[in-house]
Amino acid sequence: MGEQLSLEIGAKLFAYAAMVVAVGCAVVLTLARADPTNEMRPYELSRATIRLARVAGAVGVFALLVRAIGHAGAVAGPANAWSLETLRLVIVESRWGGGWRWQIALAGVVAVIGWRVRPTRGIAVFAVAVAGWCIVTPWLGHGASSLWQRATHALHLGVTGAWLGTVMVLAVCLTGTDVRERIEDAGRVIERFSPWALLSAGVAGVSGGVLAWTYVGSVEALVGTRYGQLLVAKLVSVVAIASCGFVNWQRARRGEVPSARLVRIEAGLAVVALAVTAALTETEHP
């Protein structure tokens, strides 16, 4: 049972990370394309981002399939998790089958469009597919109970992706030996991204706060239950991420080059926050 839970949490971490990175790819491609000064020729950064978008879509499909198998294992036991009959039961016959089908399909669409998108075209279609992926993700799990919860979760996922996903994409694109051509463009993208990051982080904080209060409901439950404690851990990691972002924002405001090291730390903390979120969604709330 413990192994199965670990598998589900691990698969969720990859599925969430893939979706968040896909949102970040859409933001980076959009910001890199819409250069009002026309000083920027962001082809290297955009190409690196497109490669990442393809990986995100493929990882998303794989992680969602593993999650579906994990769900099948919870229904029919680990020994029957791989049987087509059980998978059919979960993905086709169960009430949440639509959620599974849509998520897997849209992650697949993101992966396929990732192969077609170019630095100067196809970005809007890619962004729409990614937005669809965010919308259908809450059709399973804690957010599936009502329409307003689905909408709030989808908004939370979208803005979290626009904030942390963009940071993760920039961190990956600025890692490696052959990044010289991307650094200058990334600096311009970060500069343009700052106000959007503030807005996204703000909306993520409000929507996350609303959802947290809905599930926890009291300060006692926040400190006295496993769900509440995980939520506090998530909050701590998000505050740490926001602090890194704030330092970089201050640097950008002073006209200094944003610190790539800080972006990488921020991205690492974002992975921690996603891991805590994956564990949170597998934990019964008070």
One character per residue 97-136, x = contact with another protein (rule: CB under 8 A): --x-------------------------------------
User: How many residues line the site for another protein (CB under 8 A)?
Assistant: 27
**Which one of 7, 105, 131, 144 is in contact with another protein (CB under 8 A)?**
144
62, 33, 188: which is closest to 124 by C-alpha? 33
Q: In Å, what is the CA distance from 224 to each residue of 61, 142, 183, 229, 261? A: 36, 20, 46, 7, 36
Least spacing, CB of residue 106 vs another protein, in Å? 18
3-class DSSP assignment, residue 121: strand
Among positions 7, 65, 89, 131, the unique one binding another protein when judged by CB under 8 A: 89
Q: Return the residues of window 11-70 that contact another protein according to CB under 8 A.
A: none
Helices (H), the chain: 2-33, 43-76, 84-88, 97-116, 123-136, 147-160, 166-173, 180-216, 219-224, 226-253, 260-281
What span, in angstroms and rounded, lies between the C-alpha atoms of 63 and 58? 9
Candidate ranges 58-66, 88-96, 121-129, 169-177; the one touching another protein (CB under 8 A): 88-96
Query: Counting contacts by CB under 8 A, is residue 178 touching another protein?
Result: no
Nearer to another protein, 138 or 165 (CB): 138
By the rule CB under 8 A, 96 interacts with another protein: yes
Q: Is 83 in the site for another protein (CB under 8 A)?
A: no
Q: Which of 140, 164, 270, 276 lies at the binding interface for another protein (CB under 8 A)?
A: 140
Of the listed pieces 29-37, 71-79, 106-114, 166-174, which binds another protein according to CB under 8 A?
Answer: 71-79
Cβ proximity to another protein, 144 vs 247, nearer residue = 144
Residues from 198 through 227 that contact another protein (CB under 8 A): 210, 213-215, 217
Q: Helix 226-253 crosses helix 260-281 at what angle (to 10 degrees)?
A: 160
**Could you tell me which of 112, 110, 215 has the C-alpha nearest to residue 165?**
110
DSSP 118: B
Task: Specify the residue, 82 or 213, whose C-beta has the smaller distance to another protein.
Answer: 213
142: contact with another protein by CB under 8 A = yes
Residue 141 touching another protein (CB under 8 A): yes
Buried b (16+ CB within 10 A) or exposed e, 62-77: bbbbbbbbbbbbeebe
Please state, in angstroms and rounded to a whole number, the distance separating the CA atoms of residues 266 and 249.
13
- Cβ partners under 8 Å of residue 116, min gap 6: 122
What is the spatial distance between Cα 141 and Cα 150, in angstroms, rounded to a whole number? Answer: 10
Q: Which is nearer to another protein, 42 or 99 (CB)?
A: 99
Q: Which residues bind another protein (CB under 8 A)?
A: 71, 74-75, 89-90, 93-96, 99, 140-146, 148-149, 210, 213-215, 217, 284-286
